[in-house]
Structure 1
Amino acid sequence: MVSEHHSSGDAPGVPARRAALRLLDAVLRQGLPLEAVLDRATAGIDRADDRALARAIAAEVLRRLPDLDALIDSATARPLPDDAKARAALRIALVQTLALGTPAHAAISTVLPLVDGGPRKLVHGVFGTLSRRGDALPDVPTLPDPVAIRWHAAWGDDMIEAAEHAIAAPPPLDLTLADPARTDDWAEQLGGVSLMPGHVRLPGGHVPEMPGFDEGAWWVQDIAASLPARLIGSGTGTAIDVCAAPGGKTMQLAAAGWQVTALDNSPTRLERLTDNLARTRLAADIVTADALLWKPAELADAVLIDAPCSATGIFRRHPDVLHRVRPSLIAEMATLQERILARAATWVKPGGTLVYATCSLEPQEGEQQLKRFLAVNDRFAVDPVRAEELPEGMVPDEAGYLRTLPGMLADHGGMDGFFMVRLKHIG
C-alpha cells in the first residue's frame, strides 16, 4: 500500500488527491500528456510514494473514465457537466474504493477538501448512494466512445474487445538483452519467460534493483518496440536512428554491431539516452538536431525512423492517450511523419535499408503513410517482414509490413500497438 504523508496546508492524504486532480485537469481539459505534467502537478509533495499515489489515482481514473462516469450519472437527478469539479472529485473517490482498494471513509474524507466552497453535500451524497448500493466497476473497462468508433472503423469488433481487455490490467515488463545468446540464462535469473531470442518478459519489478541492471545487460522495452530495430538486423556499417531518445533502438543497433548516429531534437531526452548508453557500455554518436533541418555528412547503410506519433498504441501504459488524442492531432502527426520520412529516405545508400515505425493504432500514421510514400518514391520497395523474424504466432501482412494490434500475444500478456515496414533502396 502506498503511504500518505502530511503536506503543508492540507490534512494527511489530501495533497496526493489534489495533485491527481491537477493531473486529470491537465489531460482532460488541456490535452497534455500525463507524464509531461507529472512533476509540475506534484510540486510541493516531498514523498516519492505520495507522488506515485497521485499518478496511480489519475492513471486509473483515465483507464476507467467511461465506467466511472456511468456510475456517477446513475446516482444524480441530471448529469453533471463533464468539467464540473464535483464530477472530478467523485471520479477520484470512486476509483480509489472500486479499483485501488482504498477504504471508503479514507477515499471520501481526502476528496471533500477538493470541493471546499463547492458542492460538498452533492459529492458526499452521490458517493454514499453508490457505496450503499454496492455498485462496482466492470471487470473489463469500456473504451471512450470516440476511440471505439475510430478503432472499430479501422479494425473491427474483435480489436475493440481485445483493446478493452488489454487496458484492464497493467502490462508486463519486457526486457531487451544486449546479448541474445544469454536469453535462457537471463530468463532463469530473472524468473521470466522469453518470447524470442534477446527478450525476457516479467510480471513486473523494481527495475534498478533487478539482476543485470547495473551491468547494462538489458533495458526495458516493450517487445513490439523492439521489432523495428530487429528488422534491420546485425551489421558493421553505418546506421542512423532518427528520433532516437530515450535510446532503446539505438542500443539495439549498437549491440548488433552498427556504427550508430542517434539523432533527436530534445536535449533532455538525449540525456536519458546518454545515461542508457553509459549503463549498457554501448557507443553511439549523439546529435542534437531537428531531423527536418539536419543531414548526415555521408549516406548510411541503414536508417531507422521511430517517428513522433499519436502514441495510441501504448494506451495500456499511458491511458491518457485515450482522452487527449483527437483526429486533429493524428492529422498533425501524420503530416510531420510524412516530412521526416521523405527527408530521412534521402540519407540511405543505394542498396541500403530504411525502417519506418510508429507506436500508433491509427492507419493514417501507418498503412496510409506507407502508401503515400511509395506513391512518390519509386527508389524504394517493401522488403517483406518474415515470420521467422517475429515472436512465434505472429505473421506479417501480405503486403510485407507488420501491424501489431491489441489481442496479439494475449495469452502471454499482450503487446503494444505498432506499425512498421522495412524498405530497400533499389536505386
Structure 2
Amino acid sequence: MVIDPPQVAAIPIVVAPVADPPGTPARRSALRLLDAVLRRGQALDAAMPGATRELPRSDDRAFAHAIAAEVLRRLPDLDALIDGATRQTLPPDAKARMALRIALVQALVLGTPPHAAIATVLPLVDGGPRKLVHGVFGTLTRAGVLLPEAPTLPEAVADRWSIAWGEDMVAAAGCAIAAPPPLDVTLRGDAPEGLGGISLAPGHRRLERGTAVTDLPGYAEGAWWVQDIAASIPARLLGTPPEPGATVLDLCAAPGGKTMQLAAAGWRTVAVDGSQSRLARLRDNLHRTRLKADVVRADLLEWSPAEPAAAVLLDAACSATGIFRRHPDVLHRARPAVIEAAATLQAQLLARAAAWVRPGGTLVYAACSLEPEEGEEQIGRFMAAHLEFEIDPVRAGELPDGIAPDPRGWVRTLPGMVAGQGGCDGFFVVRLRRAG
C-alpha cells in the first residue's frame, strides 16, 4: 500500500527589505529639491518644506539643502565629469545622472567619504542602473578628478551676461558663486559690543559666513538685521525725511530690510506686499527690532494710497539673478521667458508707483537682477514715457566703499565689486525726482 506523504502547508518565505544606509533620507530629499528646481522651475527655498517633509531633524534638512545648493552651483562641471565617463549621454533628468551629481558633489565639495557618498545614493536608483552609477562614480574617484576652483556658469547665462557685461564679469561671477557669501547686517543704531566684523558703510557690518545668526550679539535685542550691502543701497538713497512725519511707500516690501532702514531713518513708512507669508516675516522683523511701520497686504496693480507720498521705493519683483551667490537655483530658473515676464510686470508697477509720488518727491527704483531688461533698459523706457521725472544723480559719498555710481547717475553693482572684502549682490538702483 502506498501511503501519500502528509500534506504540509507551505511556509511563506519572507524577504526582509534591505534597510537604506543611514543618511539616505537626506539624499532622497536633495533629489526632490533638484527635481523641483530643474524640472519644475521652483525656487529652492520654496521647495524645502515639501521635499524635506520626511526629515524631522533640522541638521538633516540643512544637509539636504546644502547638497542641492552645491549641485546647482557646479552643475555644468559635474555634468562634464559624468559625460566624460559614460559611453552614452544620460538624459538631463535621468535618476542616474541626478544620483551621480549628488554623490560627486558630496565627495568633491562637501567632504563626504566616497564610500558613504555612493552608498547613500544607490537606493535613489532602485530599479534603475545601479551598476552604471556605481561604476561611473568609482571610475571618477579613482582617477582623482577635481572640480575647477571657479565654477562654470550655465552656458545660456554666460552667453547672456557676456553680451551685456563682458567676459571679465562672467569670470568674476564664476568666482563669486564658488561659495556662499559672507553675512552682512544693517545696524539699527550703534553696533552691539562683541559683534565684530568689518564695515563697508555707515550702519553696516560684514561677518564671516557660517556664523549662527541667532547666536550673534544684539540679535535678541533687535540691534540689526541681515541684509546684503547692495540691498541696503536703495533705502540709503532716500536718506532722512525732508520734514518730520514725511511718508515713504515701500513697495514689494517683504521681508522688510528696507522697511526697517526707512523706519530707523525717521520716515513714516507704509510697507506694501502681496505675500502673506513674507509679510509675516516682515512683522516678526519689525517686532524684534522695535521699529514701526504700517503694513499693508495688497496687490500693487489694484491698490492705491490715500494720497501721494514724499517718497516711493519700488524694489520690484524680478528674476533675482543678482542674488545667485546665495540662491544658485536662479541661474537655472531665470530663463528668457521669466526675465521678459518680470520686465513687463516691472513696467506696470513703475507706472503706478510714479503716480503716487507728490510733486517734488522722490522715486527710487531697484531690482536685484543682472539683466539689463530689468534695469537700464527698464528705466530708459520709463523716462521716455514720463517726462515729469528726471534722474537725481547718486553721489559717490552716498555709496558703500568700493561701489561707485554709473556716469549716467544710477548704480549698477556687478560680480567682482568689493571682491576683496567678500563681494556683493547684483543690483540696479536709480533715484528719480518728480518735477515740483
Q: Give TM class, smaller chain.
A: over 0.9
Answer yes or no: is 1:347 the counterpart of 2:356.
yes
Residue identity in the other structure for 2:296: V
Q: Which residue of 2 aligns with 1:218?
A: 224
In 2, Cα distance between equivalents of 1:89 and 1:220: 34
Q: Which residue of 2 aligns with 1:274?
A: 283
In 2, Cα distance between equivalents of 1:82 and 1:278: 46
Q: Which residue of 1 aligns with 2:56?
A: 46
Answer yes or no: is 1:82 the counterpart of 2:87.
no
**Greater Rg by CA:** 2
Answer yes or no: is 1:292 the counterpart of 2:311.
no
In 2, Cα distance between equivalents of 1:210 and 1:370: 39
In 2, Cα distance between equivalents of 1:219 and 1:408: 23
In 2, Cα distance between equivalents of 1:107 and 1:310: 34
Conserved? CA contact 2:311–2:361, under 8 Å: yes
Q: Which residue of 2 aligns with 1:265?
A: 274
Q: Which residue of 2 aligns with 1:324?
A: 333
Correspondence 1:26-425 to 2 at 5 A: 26-179=36-189, 182=190, 185-186=191-192, 189-204=194-209, 205-235=211-241, 236=244, 237-425=246-434
In 2, Cα distance between equivalents of 1:273 and 1:257: 18
- Offset of residue 324 of structure 1: 1.1
In 1, Cα distance between equivalents of 2:61 and 2:75: 21
- Offset of residue 9 of structure 1: 7.1
- Offset of residue 192 of structure 1: 0.3
In 2, Cα distance between equivalents of 1:347 and 1:213: 35
In 2, Cα distance between equivalents of 1:322 and 1:233: 33
Q: Cα distance 1:244–1:9, how it changes in 2: closer, same or farther (>3 A)?
A: farther
In 2, Cα distance between equivalents of 1:109 and 1:392: 48
- Offset of residue 11 of structure 1: 3.5
Structure 1 unaligned segments of length 5 or more: list them. 1-7
- Offset of residue 255 of structure 1: 0.1
Residue identity in the other structure for 2:390: A
In 1, Cα distance between equivalents of 2:369 and 2:207: 24
Q: Cα distance 1:304–1:9, how it changes in 2: closer, same or farther (>3 A)?
A: farther
In 1, Cα distance between equivalents of 2:208 and 2:128: 42
- Offset of residue 376 of structure 1: 0.5
Residue identity in the other structure for 1:330: I
> How large is the Cα RMSD of the aligned pairs?
1.1
- Offset of residue 189 of structure 1: 1.8
Residue identity in the other structure for 1:389: E
In percent, how many aligned pairs have the same letter? 68
Answer yes or no: is 1:15 the counterpart of 2:25.
yes
**How many residues end up aligned between the 2 structures?**
415
- Offset of residue 10 of structure 1: 4.1
In 2, Cα distance between equivalents of 1:200 and 1:320: 27
Q: Secondary structure at the match of 1:301?
A: strand
Deviations 1:47-84 (A, max 9, x none): 00000010000000000000000100111112111111
In 2, Cα distance between equivalents of 1:346 and 1:115: 56
Q: Cα distance 1:345–1:130, how it changes in 2: closer, same or farther (>3 A)?
A: same
Worse-matched range after superposition: 369-378 or 9-18: 9-18
Q: Secondary structure at the match of 1:57?
A: helix
- Offset of residue 118 of structure 1: 0.3
- Offset of residue 392 of structure 1: 2.3
In 1, Cα distance between equivalents of 2:398 and 2:406: 13
In 2, Cα distance between equivalents of 1:19 and 1:135: 26
In 1, Cα distance between equivalents of 2:205 and 2:395: 21
In 1, Cα distance between equivalents of 2:300 and 2:92: 39
Residue identity in the other structure for 1:23: L
Q: Which has the higher helix share?
A: 1
Deviations 1:299-347 (A, max 9, x none): 1001000000000000000000111110000000000000001001101
In 2, Cα distance between equivalents of 1:46 and 1:373: 49
In 2, Cα distance between equivalents of 1:44 and 1:83: 23
Q: Secondary structure at the match of 2:137?
A: helix
- Offset of residue 168 of structure 1: 0.9
In 2, Cα distance between equivalents of 1:357 and 1:114: 43
In 1, Cα distance between equivalents of 2:330 and 2:263: 31
In 1, Cα distance between equivalents of 2:432 and 2:112: 51
Deviations 1:206-247 (A, max 9, x none): 111111111111000000000000001111310000000010
Deviations 1:78-118 (A, max 9, x none): 21111111000000000000000000010000000000000
TM value normalised by structure 1:
0.96
TM value normalised by structure 2:
0.94
In 1, Cα distance between equivalents of 2:51 and 2:31: 9
In 2, Cα distance between equivalents of 1:72 and 1:25: 18
Conserved? CA contact 2:183–2:206, under 8 Å: yes
In 1, Cα distance between equivalents of 2:291 and 2:402: 32
Q: Which residue of 1 aligns with 2:4?
A: none
